[in-house]
Amino acid sequence: MTFPHVCRVLHLVALLSLTGLGCASSGPSPSDAGGCGPSTSDGGDSGSIDVGAEPSCAENEPNDTRETATKLALNMDLRKRCLGAAADVDFYEVVVPKTAYTGYLHVHLRNVGGTAGDTTIGLTVYSAADNGRITSQRADRAGADLDVYWSTAAGQTYRMQVDGVATAYPARYDIEAEFVERIDTFEPNDDRSVAKTFVLGQKVEGAMLYGHRSQSLDSADGDDWFAIQLAAGSVSVDIPGVEGVSLTASLFDPQGTYVASASSTGNDIALRTSLPTPGRCFIQLSTNDRSGYGAGKKVPSFFSASYAMTVTQ
């Protein structure tokens, strides 16, 4: 037995599906253009089916102000972000772990381009503590990647503003916030009140990097302080040279009075002095390398440098 009416209905549904005029209830919802599912390509054969081009980028509004900033997880990238118009900016927010006393953020903007790949991307970094601007950088040409870095402080929040100059919109980009923690087991020891104790002959290792707690770097925030029991008499403080890094070692007596210091840039430090009073003395390590931000695929050597210190009598 045949069912001519049913056959005609099924045949009509099949034709509607192929021509893009209808869709099954379980398929994708209609697009803004009125179609659904695969559509016929305008430039191909009438019988070919084009699965559709992937969207060039996706807006994530509202994120035009620091109050509505998109939360960006550390070491994760967001792809195909969008600047929708000339006046559009995108804000992102990153938070450094409270236990990461020394480290830096390196933000990468990749796959930059408008309709014609002509976007010149820019990034401005702010401290959430005072909303002060830490740095503002822009790519050197249209379509180029942009890499911006700055030193961080434990538990701090930073906000980033992405903007672009393009002749066609929307302008797309990918963004990633790479966080590099410098492992320093003696932190926190940024002032004498929290100096870490070690003993004669012990090699102590640490990292010198001043982090942004606000717009400006704290002049003492990256110093490292140590305490050691010393006898009266000669004292030797030795630190092998760290290439490209300036370092100063200063010795203080038990009353906190300055005794002597030695400095070097890239060469060994060999502090030789005599201590008049025995007791629990202090050593302060500091550096003049305090430029906490910049642009480029590589960070300055002092961002990743470590030192090793030994004291003998």
pLDDT at 58 over 80: no
* Those residues with Cβ within 8 angstroms of residue 43's Cβ, 6 or more apart along the chain or in another chain: none
**How many residues appear in the chain?**
313
| Phi and psi, residue 68, nearest 5° | -110, 25
Q: 135 falls in which pLDDT band (50, 70, 90)?
A: very high
**How many CB atoms are closer than 10 A to CB 57?**
21
pLDDT attached to residue 288: 78
Q: 243 falls in which pLDDT band (50, 70, 90)?
A: confident
| Phi and psi, residue 67, nearest 5° | -70, -25
pLDDT attached to residue 304: 83
pLDDT attached to residue 185: 87
163 neighbors 132 (Cβ within 8 angstroms): no
At 144, the amino acid letter reads A
Cis peptide before 55 (omega within 30 of 0): no
pLDDT attached to residue 25: 32
Which of 2-11, 211-220, 268-277 ranks highest by mean pLDDT? 268-277
pLDDT at 51 over 50: no
Strand order across the 103-113 sheet: 77-83, 171-181, 103-113, 146-152, 293-295
pLDDT attached to residue 269: 96
pLDDT at 27 over 70: no
Q: What is the mean pLDDT of residues 283-311?
A: 89
d(CA 217, CA 151): 9
Q: 117 falls in which pLDDT band (50, 70, 90)?
A: low
Q: What is the mean pLDDT of residues 209-222?
A: 78
Which of 33-47, 246-260, 276-290 ranks highest by mean pLDDT? 246-260
As a whole-number percent, the residues of the chain with pLDDT over 90 amount to 53
In the chain, what are the domains? Answer: 66-181 (2.60.120.380), 192-312 (2.60.120.380)
Residue 9, classed as helix, strand or coil, is: helix
pLDDT attached to residue 146: 97
More confident residue, 180 or 15: 180
Residue 237, classed as helix, strand or coil, is: strand
**How many CB atoms are closer than 10 A to CB 98?**
9
d(CA 169, CA 248): 52
Cis peptide before 188 (omega within 30 of 0): yes
> Which pLDDT tens digit goes with each residue over 137-189?
999 999 999 999 999 988 999 999 999 988 788 888 999 999 999 888 898 89
pLDDT attached to residue 219: 64
As a whole-number percent, the residues of the chain with pLDDT over 70 amount to 78
- Cα–Cα–Cα angle for 227, 231, 237, rounded to 5 degrees: 55
Q: 29 falls in which pLDDT band (50, 70, 90)?
A: very low
> Mean pLDDT over all residues of the chain?
81
pLDDT attached to residue 56: 63
How does DSSP assign 290-303, residue by residue?
A: ---EEESSS--HHH
| Predicted TM-score of the model (pTM) | 0.75
